[in-house]
Every structure is written in structure tokens, then in C-alpha cells.
Amino acid sequence: MSWSVLLLCFAGALRAQTLPEPATLLRPAAVFDGQAMHAGWAVLVENDKITAAGPAAQVALPAGGRTLDLPDLTLMPGLIEGHSHLLLHPYNETPWNDQVLLEPQALRVARATVHAQRTLLAGFTTARDLGTEGADYADVGLKQAINQGIIPGPRLLVATRALVATGSYGPKLSTDVDVPQGAQEADGVDGIVRAVREQIGKGADLIKVYADYRWGLNSTAQPTFSQEELTLIVQTARSAGRGVVAHASTPEGMRRAILAGVETIEHGDDGTPEIFKLMKQRGVALCPTVAAGDAIAQYRGWKKGQGPVPVRIEQKHQSVQAALKAGVTLAMGGDVGVFPHGDNAREMEQLVKEFGLTPLQVLRQATSGNAQIFHLADRGSIRPGLLADLVAVAGDPTQDVGAVRKVQLVMKGGVLYKQP
């Protein structure tokens, strides 16, 4: 066979992966629609949309379509990762400082393409990517490559560089040397407005701000931006139709971010009952990222299940329980990148096994819940008119959260990326 024929075959295979089937009838054992389980349901997909869902006898396959039987599998909406960093890889492989300072951006992007594929094949068809950590606007290009079918990956909501107050972030080396930072520094009215607008102009879907960070005495976490600066960040972003999310772990940093009008608080480690009450009143969601703190503690020598639990892990348990007691809405996101991409389900498992949530609660968070918090009206549930972003897993994930690891089928926009 000639090289030209081989190239034509390869191009045809690529097109086959990126073009949806005209009509596919999916017949699983049960369907989780984003809220509840339905035994004996079928789902019809035409092009990139769901066109019918309900009892199998009531869903007809159009002429020329195909049926895909999925016995013993649960079909559900594609999972939505709420907090990821595709340009990072686990810190026990390479420390964060070295990733920011020593790894060329081309290397980081090449690695991120693999991360994107692993995320998709793990059943996460959408991901909120909350900062490139020194890789500038590489997430915008990564999103474009996915959208154009050049590489497989989830639908991305990107925050680009993120915003930090001058001097508060890292890396920090010698005081005699200015080194590239892991986010964009901005201060005061002019600086903040310019930075927010610049990130939006470069392709940011949302703005991420570090409302506090470990820059206090003895590296304690302390607030960074003033109340006025945070409010200006939110107002500037909102005028361009973007929401703001805040990295915040201290009560004061969280309070300022909440009053400023951010949509989600990321981490919230030291949140108090009073702060969570304010979050509930203001309709701000919490993305607790329990898996990241757990992973970092293990990197630092904690033998999980042996000896005393680290103080930071105990504090995380207390803060999540306080948030739940206050009725705060939880977003599901693990801060993936701190731990391996493709292992996104770790957050869901820990919320169930170690924080007392039910599998159904966590499954709703990762589908319809995240879709609502992130303003994604076209996904997160299974009903006619929504995107055909679907995943099939072995078992019943509403009873055993570990079933979300048993991914047998992945469809995004009607295109099958994995099937039994």
C-alpha cells in the first residue's frame, strides 16, 4: 500500500472519530438522568444532541440509525470536573516550583494533551481548568485544539493565568532574583481592570483570583487583595459576562471574596460556621478539593491509615461538615494536577468514604449540580435538546460511587471515544 493511500486511510479514521453518527439508540440496563435512576430506559442521540429519553418501548430508532446495547451498564451524563489544572502534573513527580520555572511550555503543553485525553476517557466530558500556573495562555490553545478535533479531550472552561496580588504568590527564590510567577500580578484600580480585561481578551471563560495565600509571617495564609480590589475584579469580569472564582482558605479571605460576589470558593479549608452561613446567604458554592490536600499530605510523608491524621486533614473534615450543616452548595472538583489526571474520581470517592456524603449526592454534584453552578444549561442531565455528552459505567454509581471508575463508554457531542 502506498504512503498516499495510508494517509488517506488515517485521515478517514480521524474524521470517523470526530463526526457523530446520524442516529444512535443507546439501550443500557438503567439511566441516571442527573437526578434519579430509571431502569429500562433508552436514550436516542442524533448528531450531537439527545433527542429522546425514556422507557425503551417509547423511544424509536429512526430509519438508518443503529442500536447500541449496553447490558449491565448505567448510562449517565458526562461527568463535569470542577477544578483541574491540565498544565500541571503530580507534585511527587516534579515539584510545583520546578514545573513553573524549569519545564518548557512546549513540554507542558505536550503533556497536557495526554492529560486531556485521560480526563475524557475517565468519563469527564467537561472540565473547569483554573489556571495555567506559569504557562500563560496555553489553556486557550489547548481548548481550541480540542474544539477543532485535533486532540481528544473534555470541553474546557479556562481561567488562563489567574490573578494574584504582587508579592503574594510564587515561585519565591532569592530576593535578588525576579523569577516568572505562577499567575498574573495586578494591584489597584488601573492594574486590576487592565489584567482582567487582558485575560478576557485572550480567551478566559472565567476569572480566577487568589483572595489569600501563604505570604503571612512564617508562611501563614493571609488575605491578599483588599475588599475594594476584589469587588472591582468581579464587577469588571461581570460586565463582560464572566464569573469569578476565588482561591480562599482563610475566614477573612473567604469573607472578602463572598462579599465581592464570586461564584465559587475553592478549598475553604479554614471556613467557619459564620463564613459558611454568609456563603449560603449569598448563594456562593464551595469546591472543597478534598483529594488534593489528601494527596499533598501523603507526598509529605503521611502514611494514610497509619498514625495520627495531619492537622490540615482534620481541619478539612471540620470545614466540609460546617459547610454542609450551613446548607452550602458543593461543587465537585478535586484540584486534579496535584494528583494524576484521569484519576478525577478520587474526589468523588473520598467525599463518600471519608466525608459522609452519599453516592447519589456526589453523582448529582458531578453532573447536574456542576452544570447549574457553572451556567452550563446545555449539559449535565439526560433530556431532549441537551448535548450528547454521555458515559456508561458498570454497576450502579448511585449505590457504589466506585462504579464511576468502571467506564465502558464515553460519548461527547455524539462522537464515541470509547465503547464496549
How far apart CA 173 and CA 100 sit, in angstroms, is 12
- Give pLDDT, residue 18: 60
CA angle 72, 77, 81 (to 5 degrees): 120
Which residues in the chain come in under a pLDDT of 70?
1-18
**410: Cβ contacts below 8 Å, ≥ 6 apart:** 78, 120, 121, 123, 125, 390, 391, 416, 417, 418, 419
- Residue 346's CB: how many other CB atoms inside 10 A? 18
Q: Which residue has the cell 505536550?
A: 110
Residue 390's closest CA among 364, 357, 367? 367
Alpha carbon dihedral 118, 119, 123, 126, in 10-degree steps, equals -150
Grid coordinates 468519563 are at which residue?
A: 123
Residue 17 pLDDT: 53
3-78+383-418 classified as CATH 2.30.40.10: yes
Which cell numbers in the block locate residue 148? 477543532
**How far, in Å, CA of 52 to CA of 61, rounded?**
10
CA–CA dist 233, 243 (Å, integer): 10
In 3D space, the residue among 245, 234, 319, 329 whose CA is nearest the CA of residue 281 turns out to be: 329
Task: Identify the residue whose cell numbers are 500580578.
Answer: 185
> Domain ranges in the chain?
3-78+383-418, 79-373
Q: Give the whole-angstrom CA distance, residue 73 versus residue 32.
A: 11
Q: What CATH number is given for 79-373 in this structure?
A: 3.20.20.140
Work out whether the CA dihedral 119, 121, 123, 126 comes out positive or negative: positive
- pLDDT value, residue 392: 98
Query: How far is the C-alpha of 126 from the C-alpha of 82, rounded, in Å?
Result: 9
CA distance 378 to 205: 16
